[in-house]
Amino acid sequence: MIVSTDAIVLRSMKYRDTSKIVTLYSEKFGKISVIAKGARAARNKFGASLEPMTHSTVVIYKKEHRDLHLLSKSEIVQPFFKTHVEPDKLTVGLALVELVHLVMHDEEENLHMFALLADSLRALETSERHSLNILFAFELKLVQQLGFAPHFESCARCGTDVLHNDGVKFVHVILARGSVVCSNCIEGHDGAGIRITKGVVRSLAHFASAPIDNVSRLDLDVQQQDEILALLQTYLQYHVAGARTLRSLSLLNVL
């Protein structure tokens, strides 16, 4: 069956002398692996369309009951040039595709996930400010789509509005419940939770609800960034099968 779909390149690996095995996140089939024969030859029909993060329209010769399909054509829709050359954008862009590669199952259509990934890469490409915010928002929107959205607005025990109550300075994130508990209610709770400051809770609530192209403006200090990075990593690993520390983020240390 010959099929055509929009797709974003998650990973591209050398195969034999001249070919590549490419994992795509496609609009019609979700995560799908293809072989691009001749893609490493000096002049080849695929050009730069198989670089990670690139959004392309692809034509695939798809065989039933196979894990690997044949890529016959690929044309760039959006190359995301800036993301490939600016180190902070590159780090975040690679983290987005790495995460999708880790947690999404093979050949399960998910239009919302495709749109989220494409929108996030577009937001990253055009963002003038804090690229890392796009990763945070992406992670929160990803867990929403997978059905594990955390609830940050109010204490899961007493219902206090933690975002707007001046008396609340800290909350505790209870991983198993995907919710927060205020300092008064944490006493005697069986799991201690992860303590985070109110500023961080507010930022997380913003990242979860704001459109992805609107999140990079929010200023965070380094401590808040580290707090959010660690919290979301722990949260993802707790709830989402396949999630682990993202290799792409090791580049963060040298920025």
Residue (26 or 160) nearer to Zn ion, CB: 160
Cβ–Cβ < 8 Å for 113, 100: yes
CA distance 44 to 39: 6
* Cα gap 129→216, rounded to integer Å: 5
Supply the minimum distance, in Å, between the C-beta of residue 182 and Zn ion.
Answer: 3
Question: Would you give the binding string for Zn ion spanning residues 61-100, x where CB under 5 A is met?
Answer: ----------------------------------------
Q: Which of 10, 132, 155, 201 binds Zn ion (CB under 5 A)?
A: 155
Q: Does 157 bind Zn ion (CB under 5 A)?
A: yes
Task: Determine the interface stretch with Zn ion among 8-16, 37-45, 155-163, 201-209 (rule: CB under 5 A).
Answer: 155-163
Min dist CB 200 to Zn ion, Å, is: 17
151-155: strand order across its sheet:
151-155, 179-182, 170-174, 194-197
Of 31 and 172, nearer to Zn ion (C-beta) is 172
Q: How far is the CB of 253 from Zn ion (least distance, A)?
A: 37
Least gap, CB of 157 to Zn ion (angstroms): 5
Per-residue contact flags (x/-) with Zn ion for residues 167 to 186, judged by CB under 5 A: ---------------x--x-
Instruction: Give the number of other Cβ atoms within 10 Å of residue 217's Cβ.
Output: 11
Characterize 74-113 residue by residue with b for buried, 16 or more Cβ atoms within 10 angstroms of its Cβ, and e for exposed.
Answer: bebebbbeebbebebbbbbbbbbbbbbebbbeeeeebeeb
From 16-24, 26-34, 66-74, 150-158, span contacting Zn ion (CB under 5 A): 150-158
Nearer to Zn ion, 140 or 182 (CB): 182
Contact 113, 145 (CB under 8 A): yes
Number of amino acids touching Zn ion (CB under 5 A): 6
Q: Is 45 in the site for Zn ion (CB under 5 A)?
A: no
158 contributes a contact to Zn ion by CB under 5 A: yes
Name which of 185 and 210 has its Cβ closer to Zn ion: 185
Q: How far is the CB of 159 from Zn ion (least distance, A)?
A: 7
User: Which residues in this chain contact Zn ion in the complex, by CB under 5 A?
Assistant: 155, 157-158, 160, 182, 185
